[in-house]
Structure 1
C-alpha cells in the first residue's frame, strides 16, 4: 500500500496521453544506442580515420542544431503529433541508411540528416506535454520525463556494449526498430494536442522566431540555463581529463558517471516533494549553488573517492534543477509559439557541449586545479542571477495566464 501511495503521489494523476508520450520516450531512449557508438562504428566497420569519424559525428551535431529549430517551427505549424511522427519515421529510415552505406560521403550525409530528424521531436514532445498536463502538475510531469530519459539512457548504455560486440548492423537496426515502435505508439494513442481557437491568429511566416528572440525575459532564462548546462557539461568533457591528470583511468571515470546515473534513477522521483512548496527561482538558485559546491571540491581532489563525493553533490544539484527548468520554459511560452520557444531553449545544450570543452580545456591547461574554482564561481553567479531574474519571470507568467484566461488579448510586452 505504501508503495502504491508513493507512486500515486509521484505520478500526480497525469493524463493518459502524457503516459503514452512518456512510454514512447522510454522505449526510444532504451533503444537509442546507435549514436553512442557512431565514432567506433565508423573506425571499426567503415575504415574511417579518427579525424574523418570526428567530422561525421560533427555533422550529426550540426544537423541537431538545424533539426531543433526546424522541429520548433513545424511543431507550431503542422502540430505536435505530425512533427513527432515525421521525426520518428525519418529517424528510423536514416538509421537504416547509415547502417548499410559504405561510402563515407554517404555516411556523412546520412549522419547530418539523422541529426536533423532525431532532434526534431524534442520541441514537439515537450510542447505536447505542456498542452495536455495542467499547470499545477507539470513539475511532476517533467520530473518523470527526466527520470525516464535517464533510465532509458542507462539501459541503452548497458545494452550498447553487448550489441556492438555482436553486430554494429544489428545495433543500428534495433535502434531503428525501437524508433518505429515509438512512432507506431504515437500514431495509435497520441492525438493532436495543438488546438487553435477559431479567432486565434497564427503568427505570419518568419515572424514567430523573431518574437522569441525579442523576448528579453525568456532569453535571460535561456542564458541562465546555458550557464547551468556549461556546468553539467564539465562532467563528460573536462572531468575525465582532470581524472587522467590525477592518474585515474577510464574505469574510474565510468564509476563516477555510473554513480550520477544511479542517483537520478533512484532518487529523482522524490524530488517533487522537496521543491513543490518553494518558488522556482529559489530552487534553481539552490540547485546551481549545490552544483558549484560539488565542482569546487575538485580543486583539491586527487583520488577516486573525492571525485565520487563531488559527483554525488553536483548530481543532487542537477536533479533539483530539472523540473523547475522545464516548468519555467513551459510557462513563458505563448500557446501559439510553444514549439519555437522549446527549440530555442533546447539549443542551450548543443551550445554547452561545444563551449564546455572548447573553453574548459584551455582553462584547465592554463589554471590547473583552479579551473574548478572558476566553474564554481560561474555556478554561484548563476544562482544569484536566478534570484534577481525570478520576479520578472513570475510577472510574465502571471500576464500570460491572464491573457490565456481571457481568451486572447494583447500579448505581454517583451
Structure 2
C-alpha cells in the first residue's frame, strides 16, 4: 500500500508529461477518432463477409480489396488539395458523411459490379479523412509536441480497432448488416463531433506574415518535385508494402503451416495489444532521441520482424515473436514519420503534403496484397519474408543517407550565418549570433525540414 501511495505522484507526473499541454481541440479530434475506430467493423471483416456470407470467391474478394485501395489512393491526393483550398474541417466532415453513407449502402447492395463500385466509394471517402486529420494536428500542435500528439492519435486508432475487432465477431452472429450500420453510425457521430467542436485550422495567408503565410501558391507539382520529401514518401512506401503482408499473405502462410484460426486470432491480436500497452511508454522513451536513429531502428525491426516469419515453421509461438518484433517497429515509426512529414510541409500546403504522404499507404494497400500473393505462391514463403527483410534494410539505409544530407545542410547554414555576421558586424562579438543555428546543426533530426 505504501509503495502504491508513493508511486501515485510519480504516475500523475508521468501522465501530465504524456498528455498535458495539448490543445483542447486536439482532444476532441482524439475522441472523434476513437469513436470512429470503435465502430470500424467493415474494413476488417469485408473479405470474410464477401466469401462466407455472400459466397463469392477469394479472387473476387481480392479484387474488391484492390478497388478499395484504388479509391483510397485517389482520395489521398484529392482530399489533400481540398484540405488546403476549402479548409480542413469541411473536407473532413464531408469525408466522414460520405463514408457513413457509402458504408451503409454497402450493407444492402447485391451483385458483383454494385458491391465493387460501392467498395471503391468506401475506400475513396474513408481515406479522404487522413490528410485533413494529419493537417489539423500539425496546425494545432506546436512542433515540439507533434510526435507526442501523433503518437496519442495512433494510440486511439489502435485502441478502437482492437476493441472493435474483439466484438465484431459477436455482432456478426446477429447478421453482417448490423456491422455495416453500426460502422456507419460511429462515423456519423465522428462527423458531428468534428463539426461542433473543431474549428477551421487552416492558416490564413496574410501578406508580409512570413514564407508560410504568403508567397506563391504551392501546387501538387511542387510537392512531387520536392526531392527530400518524395524520398521520405518512397521510403515509407517500402515499409507500407511490408505492413500490408500482415493482413494478406501472413494469414495464408500461417494457415498453410497448420496454424488454427484460434491461434491465428491470438497471434495477430498481439499486434493491437502491444500497441496499446507500449505506445505511451515508448513515446516517452523516444523524447529527445535522434529522429533519424528512430526511423532506422523502426525500419530494421519492421523488415526483419517480418523476416523472422520464415523461421517460424509450424510454431505459433515463433509467429507471435515475429509479430512482437515488427509491432515495436510500427510503434516507433508511425508518430516519428508523421512528425517528420509535418515538419517538411509548408503550413499553407500541409493538406497536399499529407495527401501525397498518405498516397504511399494507399498504393501499398492497392499493390501489396497482389504482389505478396504472387511471390508467396510462385517463389515460396522464404523468398517473401526475406524480401521483407531486404525492403526494411533498404529503407533504413535511405534514412541514413537522408540524415547525412540533413547534417551537411545544417552545417552549411551555420557557416553561412557565421559569414554574414562577420561581414555585417566585424567588430561585434559573433558567438551569440551563431549559437542558435549551431544548435540546429547538431540536431540532424530537425535538419530535413530545411534540406
Quote how far apart the aligned CAs of 1:69 are: 1.4
1:152 aligns with 2:174: no
Q: State whether residues 217 and 392 of structure 1, in contact with CA within 8 Å, keep that contact through their aligned partners in structure 2.
A: no
For 1:59, the equivalent position in structure 2 comes to 67
Q: Indicate the structure (1 or 2) with the bigger Cα radius of gyration.
A: 2
SS in 1 for 2:205: coil
Within 5 Å, which residues of 2 pair with 1:310-321?
A: 310-321=322-333
Deviation above 6 Å: which 4+ runs of structure 1? 394-399
**Contact persistence 1:284–1:321 (CA under 8 A):** yes
1:42-69: CA deviations, max 9, x gaps? 4555565555444444332221111221
C-alpha deviation, 1:162, in angstroms: 1.5
2:289 aligns with one of 278, 285, 289: 278
Aligned CA distance change for structure 1 residues 122 and 394 (closer, same or farther; 3 Å) = farther
Q: Please point out which of 287, 290, 309 is paired with 2:301.
A: 290
Select the residue among 179, 186, 201 that pairs with 2:187. Answer: 179
User: 1:306-334: per-residue Cα shift (whole Å, max 9, x none)?
Assistant: 11112211111111112211100100011
1:14-163 correspondence to structure 2 within 5 Å:
14-43=22-51, 48=56, 50-102=58-110, 104-163=112-171
Shift of 1:76: 0.4
SS of 1:195's equivalent? coil
Structure 2: any 5+ residue segments left out of the alignment? Answer: 1-7, 208-212, 414-436, 438-448
> TM-score normalized by structure 2?
0.82
- Name 1:230's counterpart in structure 2: 241
| Larger mean Cα displacement after TM superposition, 257-266 or 44-53 | 44-53
Match of 1:408 in 2: none
Is it true that 1:188 corresponds to 2:189 in the alignment?
no
TM-score (norm 1): 0.89
Say whether the 8 Å CA contact 2:223–2:352 is kept in structure 1: yes
1:242 correspondence with 2:253: yes
Residues 1:108 and 1:300: Cα distance change in structure 2 (over 3 Å): closer
Residue number in structure 2 paired with 1:379: 392
Cα distance in 1 for residues equivalent to 2:184 and 2:216: 35
The alignment covers a number of residue pairs equal to: 402
Separation of aligned partners in 1, 2:54 and 2:398: 48
Structure-1 residue corresponding to 2:422: none
Shift of 1:355: 3.6
1:269 aligns with 2:280: yes
- Following superposition, the deviation at residue 238 of structure 1 comes to 2.7
Check whether the contact 2:66–2:366 (CA below 8 A) recurs between aligned residues. no
Q: Structure 1 pair 32/391, CA: closer, same or farther in 2 (3 Å)?
A: same
Q: Do the aligned partners of 1:143 and 1:323 also contact (CA within 8 Å) in 2?
A: yes
CA displacement 1:145-166 (0-9 Å, x = unmatched): 1111111111111122112111
CA distance in 2, matches of 1:219, 1:267: 30
Shift of residue 13 of structure 1? 1.5
Query: Aligned equivalents of 2:140 and 2:131: distance in 1?
Result: 15
* CA root-mean-square deviation: 2.6
Q: Give distance in 2, aligned partners of 1:7 and 1:159.
A: 29
Aligned to 1:169: 177
Partner SS, residue 198 of structure 1: coil
Q: Separation in 2 of the partners of 1:98 and 1:397?
A: 52
Q: Shift of residue 3 of structure 1?
A: 3.2
